[in-house]
Structure 1
Amino acid sequence: MSEFKALLVSETDGQYQAAVTTRKIDDLPPGEVLIRVKYSSLNYKDALSASGNKGVTRTFPHTPGIDAAGVVEASSVSDFSAGDEVIVTGYDLGMNTSGGFGQYIRVPADWVLRRPQGLSLRDSMVLGTAGLTAALCIDKLEHAGLAPGQGPVLVTGATGGVGSIAVAMLSAKGYEVAASTGKALQADFLRKLGASQIVDRSALESGKDKVLLKDQWAGAVDTVGGDILFNVVKSLRYGASVACCGLTAGGQFSASVFPFILRNVNLLGIDSVEQPLVVKASMWDLLSVQWKTDLHNLEREISLDALPAEIEKILAGKMVGRIVVNLG
């Protein structure tokens, strides 16, 4: 097959339109591995790319999709052979390299991982970059000393992709989970994932001018950033940590040294995009076996044709859980 379907985002007079169209394999960028994509997933970064955010994607027309799972069609390196089931998450995929919202991608071999044995291709995209990020957060928190039984662990942005997986995963590992959201109607959704406490987002927005807040959390996964993040820092118990992985509420916050020097707390940065492949592989091994979690309550599947409407929803803050894209 020399042609394939893909979501293509085009720019006209500063306006961006996304539509499913036909592309040619010869138009894909160079790379050692050609992959027939079976599944992808929708992430906030994909929506930013599709809306013309030049901090994510510089050149248009472009096919977003930072996640892809599929079957090797051809490989110029011995590490992969036609028929191998593989996954790709992060690096430049879907940013400035044609991404997983197309039925084919061609990428460098050092971006590619074999499908984890405990997961199907579809399972791996229910997780995708969101699941990998949640796992990296929890792993780093546990290396910093977090363990079940120490008290409630807060997850901000809990109805989003990373947040909802973090809630489910922490609960499955035996943690007491407090889920923060601005979507009051999603409280039952979060309880089904394992949250024992629902925290209204407004409660985390107050106290910006105080140097310390009541110490509540044994740990936290923050997916939103902004002043909410530092209010979480000010609310950590002595010696506790928060893993920071998102910025939907903003990339800046007001801060002081007081939580760090009076409560010995830690602010841990998390990146899932440029992690060395060996680190990603170790996380995927955990996700497929020891940390394997039932995520059926937080995912739904759509077709490639349904993507433009779902992109508008995620940009409007209306997306809940995870969306798997079936590329046929």
Structure 2
Amino acid sequence: MFQALLLTQSDDRATHAAVQPLDEAQLPEGEVRVAVAHSTVNYKDALAITGKSPVVRSFPMVPGIDFAGSVVESADARFKPGDAVLLNGWGVGEVHWGGLAQQARVKADWLVPLPAAFTTHDAMAIGTAGYTAMLCVMALQDRGVTPDAGAVLVTGANGGVGSIAIALLSRLGFEVHASTGRANEAAHLKALGAAEVIDRATLSAPGKPLQKERWAAAVDSVGSHTLANVCASLKYGGTVAACGLAQGMDLPATVAPFILRGVTLAGVDSVYAPQARRVSAWDRLARELPREVLAANTGTIGLADAIGLAPRLLAGQVRGRVVVDVAA
């Protein structure tokens, strides 16, 4: 038996979350069974736990799109008992039981060996959010964005993706501007590496199709009017790596920035990214993300605490990353 956060749905389609014991035999199919040490709560997890969006495709469901732990048993030669592994995405916590539990059984293809530089707590302090941030940085660099091109904007700066993106970009030599709705967090954002903090209200309302050229590139986890205004404000030839929809799924923009300024809108997907891309991202995180960033940007909670955290995260009341110690 093991403890898990289980989501169920009542006849009125309301989602109910509770921590309860489950039997190993209830785990879904997969080649590898993992003793989970740590998980985390991402924006998507918060949507699943609260039922605010139809993230979960079938019930009952163990949420948690991330986990890190050690292999207990494996039917795949790539992994053996005791191996330290992590997982991000692949539909776990949505269509396949996820990481907010003390055990998980998953496909071997979904696992990534835990870099030696990281503990399982470190890996979840990064989580899908930090891994996505690195994918965004890689997307900008793939398109030739360099520090001498100009400042890079990071929207949703206090969130998991935003905070790690700031730390990564600043340490690569970029001048980083951080957009946030929490002015009281300016000191924290500057400690992460932001050179300038701007009010998200300047980007979140409808704007002109073309605006003053301000940034060479951007990492956007917000979407909607914010992303439209970011595109309209990029310098000629600029690139925005788009990876989220905290403000909305819509994109009320025009083609003007793309055909008049040669702007590139680069979509970044973390859920089904190829294995080689994942391994590369995690290898770079191990080399380039200072441990002090994790310590200053991360809180730790117990498994049952994830239920109460979820609505706070959706309301924008959570700074940085939250690790879930599934044994606590």
What is the TM-score when the length of structure 2 is the normalising length?
A: 0.96
Contact (CA 8 Å) 2:210, 2:256: kept in 1 or not?
yes
Residue 258 of structure 1 corresponds to: 256
1:80 is displaced (CA, Å) by: 0.7
Contact (CA 8 Å) 1:6, 1:101: kept in 2 or not?
yes
1:54 is displaced (CA, Å) by: 6.0
Distance 1:193 1:36 in 2: 33
Contact (CA 8 Å) 1:149, 1:176: kept in 2 or not?
no
1:76 is displaced (CA, Å) by: 0.8
Q: Report matched runs for 1:1-328 at 5 Å.
A: 3-12=1-10, 13-52=12-51, 55-206=54-205, 208=207, 210-292=208-290, 294-328=293-327
1:25 is displaced (CA, Å) by: 0.8
1:253 is displaced (CA, Å) by: 2.0
Distance 1:316 1:54 in 2: 14
1:268-308, CA deviations, whole angstroms, 9 ceiling, x for partnerless residues? 00000001112101111111124556322111111112111
Distance 1:112 1:189 in 2: 33
1:34 is displaced (CA, Å) by: 0.1
What is the SS of the residue equivalent to 1:238?
strand
Q: Give runs of ≥4 in structure 1 deviating > 6 Å.
A: none
Structure 1: gaps of 5 or more residues = none
1:168 is displaced (CA, Å) by: 1.2
What is the SS of the residue equivalent to 1:237?
strand
Go from structure 1 to structure 2 and tell me whether the alpha carbon gap of 1:43 and 1:116 turns closer, same or farther (over 3 Å shift): same
Moved more, 12-21 or 170-179: 12-21
What is the TM-score when the length of structure 1 is the normalising length?
A: 0.96
How many residues are paired up?
325
Distance 1:52 1:307 in 2: 14
Moved more, 149-158 or 35-44: 149-158
Distance 1:158 1:131 in 2: 12
1:176 is displaced (CA, Å) by: 0.7
Distance 1:309 1:41 in 2: 13
- The one-letter amino acid paired with 2:200 is R
Distance 2:94 2:79 in 1: 24
Structure 2: gaps of 5 or more residues = none
